Structure 1
Amino acid sequence: MTKHFMPRASLVALMAARPAGIVGSVRNDANPGKIEELLKEVKSELTRISDDVKKTAEQALQQSKDTGKATDEVKAKADELLATQTKLSDAQNKLTEKLEALETRNQDLEQKLASRRGGGDKEVKSFGEQVTGSDELKAFAKGGARGTLRISVNQAITSVDGSAGSLIWTQQEREIIGLPRRQMTIRNLIPAGRTTSNLIEYVRQLARTNNAAVVSEGAQKPESNYTYERADAPVRTIAHWVHVSRQAMDDAAQLQTEIDGELRYGLDYAEELEILKGDGTGEHLEGLVPAATAYSAPIAMTGETMIDVLRLALLQASLAEYPADGIVLHPSDWTRIELLKDGENRYLWANPRGTNAPGLWGRPLLETQAMDEDEFLVGAFRMAATIYDRMDAEVLISSEDRDNFIKNMLTVRAEKRLALAVKRPGALVTGDFGNVSG
């Protein structure tokens, strides 16, 4: 066999022995440039082998014409060339498919990168995607893929989708975050008792004429006079309700407790307003402020301040023989008093670093938004009035309300009953600061 008909030993032997191994190798899979180079060599060798097959076929044909048959050497050479041609064709097809797959993957990567630069896709790249799309690999393939290439892969675990995002569970707080609640203070000023009736009747003294005096022996004694009146304090009901579905009450275990607390708070809120400001009409209680004595300065002063007015109101109660035991103000008014300063910007009343409880002239001071701004109430609260509780706060749940049963609804009702008897109106003094300075 002449050298002209022999294939290149290195490449043909490699193709004949392991064409599938070449195409499927990991090294070539990660190096598109290397695959292109190998495919070019396979195509070139396939073209040459095809030419050799053609020439061998012509040689066999000529021998057949000359001698009547082809020689065994020509037949063997033809068989070898045809087998090599078949393997090279298979290798070419596989290399072409592999190269097309790599090109498609690179296009997908480029689209994803472009999308990420636009901020629309936050997909995390896999190891293979980062390797095949790296600039280092492209430069390595362009340079002939010689030597060793090291590529750093940044595969940090993050909270985005595609990484550890699906493993992160939200944390639920079971406590219901409610709205703020006002601190109730007025009831604590007044003594409380209980009653089993719906009306409190009592007698209070209106006037006292005291003519007690020293007398001589045998002389007529002086006569004194006292006037009384009968008064009453009816028991009033404070109530409200809310509609809740049976499903919500059954499925949310904390809901019943929350509703119970809200309804009770609503009763206390309304009660404080009634105790302080109830006008006594209709079903309202007669509150402390409407029943109190109007402020009238016992002594004349000029340039009165808020602190002066309060001291004069305390004096008015004391002169009525009811030494005051407390003061009630709106929080804004107490703040104005605390912020009073002298000519050198020193606080007159408050110490910003102190922790003293609110108070003036030795009496405790209560702040409540139930009082209006510029309004005050002072007096001997424990002598002035009494609260009579008929029924403590009660919360009931029922389905027997209108069409609750057929709608699977529940009515939650809260109510309390009490009476307020302002027995000594003179023990309370109320008024406003008007235009007095701080």
Structure 2
Amino acid sequence: MSGETKSAAELAAETKAAFDKSLDAVKEIAEAAAGKAEAGEQLSQKAKDKADEALVTMNELKAGMTELEQKLDRGGNTDANEAKSIGQMFVESDEFKSFEADGFSRNNKARIEAKATITLATTDTDGAVGAGVRATRLPGIQEMPQRRMTIRDLLMPGRMDGNTLEYVQETGFNNNAAMVAEGAVKPQSDIKLADISTSAKVIAHHFKASRQSLSDVAQLRSLIDQRGRMGLKLKEEGQLLNGDGTGQNLMGLIPSATAYAAAFAVTAETIIDKLRLAMLQSALAEYPATGHVLNPIDWARIELTKDGDNNYIVGGPTGDALAPTLWRLPVVETQAMQVDKFLTGAFQMGAQIFDRWLASVETGYVDDDFVRNLITILFEERLALAIYRPEAFIYGDLGFVA
């Protein structure tokens, strides 16, 4: 049927039939030549040319048949889009069919030109130019987002020597100061002090990379350096807020903080009211608050709070405030804070960070790294957190979650 795509098996059968017919023609010529040789007759030039043409045709058919047989051995391929071999195109051509019908006559020849459609294919087929197409590659590495660190910036910085940090904390003051009459005994007041001791803790992690990757990927070294330091900061922020003081954990601000307790009840109390009462609680402890720490989800809830007329209470979507604030204090958003919780306090006066080792990076060979062309990259820091006044920090529930 015209236009029908033939399978490799069908093409092989057709090629073999043509080859057999060509072989018979060669045999016939050879037998005629042998008879003339026995009779002592010279073979004419015309007969020699016809024999040569028959042999060439037979060899071309043999090559095409071999190629098809190999394809069948590999499982065959009947894909209509598969590029045809020279042998396939030759035996299917009208020129060959005419040559075959004429009994492979010397006066008739079969000739074709191999042509292929140029495509973007990358397979080993005629007309495939896909391997020459270069991909558009953006420079550098598309990095993951980085969390903005905030808690360290709230606290007073400091440096320490040795492993242990000790300080004296006033834990009580009995004030008996009074008006005194002439000649009367003056009252005595008392102060209670306590020794507080904490130690520096190490935060560390490392990467292993091959020397080849560090040499061949231009941005890899800077990416490892950036992520290494970022990892330390992420862990540090969580420890500064939530460390429970056990083992190698810091004693964080939240476990040390004072529980929220309102000085008075507010009619129809809201979340915004709670944060103002937490500021009052800190101020009554003689440590005026300097900021609020909230999870970003909770701050979004507060900003979206509306009054009875559907107006935003805290600013608005077109507000021009440079930084989030509530009751004149900055609001610090961090995912290290649990959802539905808040921490309000006097961060500069109530606590202090002491760095023993600033964040650093070291490289070297560990175990058999040298013979494996590997490099170990170590990031670490060592710090302590001093909580001077637990009552300077107020921690509680916002009440969004039942």
* TM-score normalised to structure 1 length: 0.62
Deviation at 1:435, TM superposition (A): 5.5
Contact 2:303 2:314 in 1 (8 A): yes
1:369 corresponding residue in structure 2: 335
Q: How does 1:180-191 map to 2 (within 5 A)?
A: 180-191=145-156
Contact 2:340 2:401 in 1 (8 A): no
Q: Which amino acid aligns with 2:122?
A: V
Identify which of 413, 417, 420 aligns with 2:385: 420
2:325 corresponding residue in structure 1: 359
User: Which residues of structure 1 form unaligned runs of 5+?
Assistant: 1-38, 40-45, 47-52, 54-81, 142-150
Q: Does 1:234 align with 2:198?
A: yes
2:269 corresponding residue in structure 1: 304
Structure 2 CA distance for partners of 1:94 and 1:196, relative to 1, 3 Å: same
CA–CA separation in structure 1 for the residues paired with 2:119 and 2:401? 68
2:353 corresponding residue in structure 1: 387
Structure 2 CA distance for partners of 1:222 and 1:173, relative to 1, 3 Å: farther
Structure 2 CA distance for partners of 1:106 and 1:342, relative to 1, 3 Å: farther
CA RMSD, Structure 1 to Structure 2 (Å): 5.1
2:123 corresponding residue in structure 1: 161
- Find the residue that maps to 1:332 and give its secondary structure: helix
1:326 corresponding residue in structure 2: 291
Q: Which amino acid aligns with 1:158?
A: L
Contact 2:65 2:87 in 1 (8 A): no
Identify which of 211, 215, 219 aligns with 1:249: 211
Q: Which amino acid aligns with 1:92?
A: K
CA–CA separation in structure 1 for the residues paired with 2:284 and 2:92? 95
CA–CA separation in structure 1 for the residues paired with 2:97 and 2:317? 72
Identify which of 89, 92, 117 aligns with 2:47: 89
CA–CA separation in structure 2 for the residues paired with 1:404 and 1:109? 52
Deviation at 1:428, TM superposition (A): 0.8
CA–CA separation in structure 2 for the residues paired with 1:315 and 1:130? 93
As a proportion of its length, which structure holds more helix? 1
Q: Does 1:118 align with 2:83?
A: no
Deviation at 1:289, TM superposition (A): 0.7
1:276 corresponding residue in structure 2: 241
Deviation at 1:187, TM superposition (A): 0.5
Structure 2 CA distance for partners of 1:140 and 1:188, relative to 1, 3 Å: farther
- Find the residue that maps to 1:182 and give its secondary structure: coil
CA–CA separation in structure 2 for the residues paired with 1:227 and 1:392? 37
1:204 corresponding residue in structure 2: 169
CA–CA separation in structure 2 for the residues paired with 1:158 and 1:116? 20
Deviation at 1:294, TM superposition (A): 0.6
Of 180-189 and 353-362, the range deviating more from structure 2: 353-362
CA–CA separation in structure 2 for the residues paired with 1:351 and 1:396? 48
- Find the residue that maps to 2:44 and give its secondary structure: helix
1:34 corresponding residue in structure 2: none
User: Which residues of structure 2 form unaligned runs of 5+?
Assistant: 1-21, 23-28, 30-35, 100-112
1:403-436 CA-partner distances (Å, limit 9, x unpaired): 7678776654433222211112121100112457
Structure 2 CA distance for partners of 1:421 and 1:158, relative to 1, 3 Å: same
CA–CA separation in structure 2 for the residues paired with 1:408 and 1:293? 53
Deviation at 1:319, TM superposition (A): 2.6
Contact 1:330 1:374 in 2 (8 A): yes
Contact 2:156 2:352 in 1 (8 A): yes
1:245-303 CA-partner distances (Å, limit 9, x unpaired): 7xx13652365554444443333222222211122233332211111111011221344
- Find the residue that maps to 1:275 and give its secondary structure: helix
Q: How does 1:209-224 map to 2 (within 5 A)?
A: 209-212=174-177, 218=182, 220=184, 223=187
1:356-384 CA-partner distances (Å, limit 9, x unpaired): 43332222111222221111101111111
CA–CA separation in structure 1 for the residues paired with 2:236 and 2:49? 94
1:37-61 CA-partner distances (Å, limit 9, x unpaired): xx9xxxxxx9xxxxxx9xxxxxxxx
CA–CA separation in structure 1 for the residues paired with 2:312 and 2:49? 97
2:305 corresponding residue in structure 1: 340
Structure 2 CA distance for partners of 1:97 and 1:235, relative to 1, 3 Å: same
Of 421-430 and 314-323, the range deviating more from structure 2: 314-323
CA–CA separation in structure 2 for the residues paired with 1:308 and 1:135? 91
1:58-91 CA-partner distances (Å, limit 9, x unpaired): xxxxxxxxxxxxxxxxxxxxxxxx99x8243344
2:104 corresponding residue in structure 1: none
Q: Which amino acid aligns with 1:374?
A: D
- Find the residue that maps to 1:252 and give its secondary structure: helix
1:220-268 CA-partner distances (Å, limit 9, x unpaired): 48546242313334232214344747xx136523655544444433332
1:295-338 CA-partner distances (Å, limit 9, x unpaired): 01122134433222222212222232322111111222222223
Deviation at 1:95, TM superposition (A): 4.8
* TM-score normalised to structure 2 length: 0.67
- Find the residue that maps to 2:233 and give its secondary structure: helix
Contact 1:359 1:365 in 2 (8 A): yes
Structure 2 CA distance for partners of 1:298 and 1:136, relative to 1, 3 Å: farther
CA–CA separation in structure 1 for the residues paired with 2:268 and 2:96? 91
Find the structure with the greater CA-based Rg.
1
Structure 2 CA distance for partners of 1:311 and 1:167, relative to 1, 3 Å: same
Deviation at 1:105, TM superposition (A): 8.9
Identify which of 246, 251, 262 aligns with 1:286: 251
CA–CA separation in structure 1 for the residues paired with 2:316 and 2:94? 71
Percent identity reads 36
